[in-house]
């Protein structure tokens, strides 16, 4: 699995666990809904600044979001709580 796909799966799982719509997350993270969609579909990779914005919008740490991505890469799936 590629990093972009793994990040997208982790992001979507975290967002749905909160729960938030893509639009709500985009608003909270000061991003566009279209960009959230591209991230979740593995079409884009976020910058470090974007990871921090997403984490803020999701109510988690950037480290948790990265750990979820690593879990996806290792086939374990995210541990979103």
In a domain, 28, yes or no: yes
| Number of domains the chain is built from | 1
Nearest of 16, 8, 13 to residue 41 by alpha carbon: 8
Q: What domain range includes position 38?
A: 3-73
CATH of the domain at 31: 1.10.260.40
In a domain, 57, yes or no: yes
The band of 77, judged by pLDDT with boundaries at 50, 70 and 90, is: low
**Which residue has tokens 């374990």?**
76
Are 78 and 9 in contact, with CB atoms under 8 Å apart?
Answer: yes
pLDDT at 80 over 70: no
The band of 52, judged by pLDDT with boundaries at 50, 70 and 90, is: very high
Q: Rounded mean pLDDT of the chain?
A: 94
């Amino acid at each position: 699995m590629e990093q972009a796909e793994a990040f997208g799966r982790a992001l979507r799982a975290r967002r749905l666990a909160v729960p938030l719509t893509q639009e709500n997350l985009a608003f909270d993270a000061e991003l566009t809904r279209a960009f959230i969609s591209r991230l979740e579909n593995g079409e884009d990779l976020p910058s470090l600044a974007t990871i921090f914005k997403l984490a803020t919008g999701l109510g988690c740490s950037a480290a948790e979001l990265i750990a979820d991505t690593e879990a996806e890469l290792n086939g374990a799936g995210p541990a979103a709580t």
